[in-house]
Amino acid sequence: MQSKPWNVLLIIVDQWRADALGCVGHPCLRTPHIDRLAREGVLFTRHYAQSSPCGPSRASLHAGQYLMNHRVTTNNTPTAAHIKMLPWFMREAGYDPALIGYTTTVPDPREADANDPRFRTNTIADGWSIVRDFEGEREHYLAYLSGLGYHMPDEYVEIFRPAPGADESKRFAASPIRAEHSETAWSIDGALDYMRIRKDEPWFMHLGTYRPHPPFMAPAPYHEMYDPAAVPKPVQAATLDDEKNVHPLTRLLLDTVKAKSGVQYMDGLAAEVSVEDWCKMRAAYYGLCSEVDDHLGRVFQLLRDTGQDERTLIILTSDHGEQLGDHHLVNKRGYFPQSYHIPCIVRDPRPAANAARGKQYDVFTENVDVLPTILEWLGRPLPHQCDGRSLLPFAHGVAPADWRKAAHWEYDFRDMAGRKAAERLGIDSDATSLAVLRDDAFAYVHFAQLPPLLFDLKRDPHWMRSVADEPAYAGVALQYARRMLDWRLRHADRTLTGLAISERGLVGKF
């Protein structure tokens, strides 16, 4: 019989691709601690974020809503005050929700004065009890480094920029921050302190790690853990022109995305980076992944040592993926699956989950499913605002027969290329958006004012050639457009649509 309170540990690693795990068969990357978590729980191999970059994606995860409903379209877009987020659900359940990391949030300007300093940089969303804040200008972490004697530049990213004129090899050198002082070490140290002091109390923790987010410069010894010659090469079309000719947005991305968004002081466009340098970048990225894995191992070990693992639900996921040179791009961009396909592991400690431990599911799951999973595990009602469904049946070995047959994600590119995307593409400023529907057979990309895309995944698994305009696929394109409309109609905001007046007064649910 459970005698001590239940805990929830929500781990959100930033910019982690779904294929960057040992337990899914990566040819060189080693992640033994996350692999063990997958063996102790269930792993979802076709899990997708609902948007990118961080702010829109995290809004979907915390609200359980698709972007079309919460409308946080960019990192700089305010969050509507009426949307109920994860920490408030946790407070209703009796938890003081702790946060390490960030939420990339902007407050509702209808609820805050225009002079509020929160409108000058991203902040933590309301409702969280902050343990360690890595938001905005990263002042808390920079103060920590300064106290250790590090020279602090004006901006956080300047730490990772070699001096002008430095040898080109320095691009892929070790981080100037020692491993024991890295962002990841600092974040995990805070989590360990929190879990130790609350080992006999109920707790909920959002544990975020900034890595493996760029800049791709890992601390020693992680910076040389992987041989660039041994990492998988990026998936790219035969020529850059072939890549650009797929779609006007693809051309715009390849003509504007800078290489320095992955590695500081790397000049030029990402599209101009050589395969050799992409592999060096990938080796650095994998080093950052292994660093995060090692530190998460410390968290999992503390839970075991203190007996808290027996009463702690653990969910691990990411906010979005990373292109890593695929399609000649870096960072999280456009409609490509590499930017949205992410890991998801759910470990339910209760005996009811024993039969499914170590199972891998290849069903389509989404980050909007995270909030419903936590709420069901805590015995809380599912709010009408949620677009997702609980993953707990899978953790108990039961795959619902009516589970979704496709994944969806959205991307708003209005903040790309200095907010000139609409002008360059010749479309309205509010038409800079796309939505993706992908299932086992096809991937369909719908744009507001640009031509759609259709990829035959059986013949073209890497999304290289659209068949949307080919007569033989006209019926397929129409079918997927209809399915996209069905999806949007079904999930359009319904916060109050479950309520109605009656002779007995208000009936239904929020």
Phi, psi of 225 (to 5 degrees): -70, -30
Identify whether 221 is preceded by a cis peptide bond (ω within 30 of 0). yes
Kindly name the residue from 23, 54, 289, 344 that is annotated as catalytic. Answer: 54
Q: Report H helices in 399-502.
A: 421-425, 474-491
* Token pair for 438: 């992908």
* Token pair for 236: 């790219």
* Residues 69, 491: Cα–Cα separation, whole Å: 8
* Residues 138, 210: Cα–Cα separation, whole Å: 11
Residue 334 CA: distances (Å) to CA of 25, 123, 469:
26, 25, 20
The reply to whether 54 belongs to the active site is yes
Alpha-carbon torsion (422, 52, 128, 390), positive or negative: positive
* Residues 61, 73: Cα–Cα separation, whole Å: 14
Tokens 């982690």 belong to 16
* Residues 42, 398: Cα–Cα separation, whole Å: 12
Strand order in the sheet with 407-412: 407-412, 433-438, 442-447, 453-456
CA neighbor of 358 nearest in space, from 24, 38, 18: 38
The residues, ordered by sequence, that sit 6+ positions from 158 with a Cβ below 8 Å of its Cβ are none
Strand partners, 475: none
Catalytically active residues are: 54
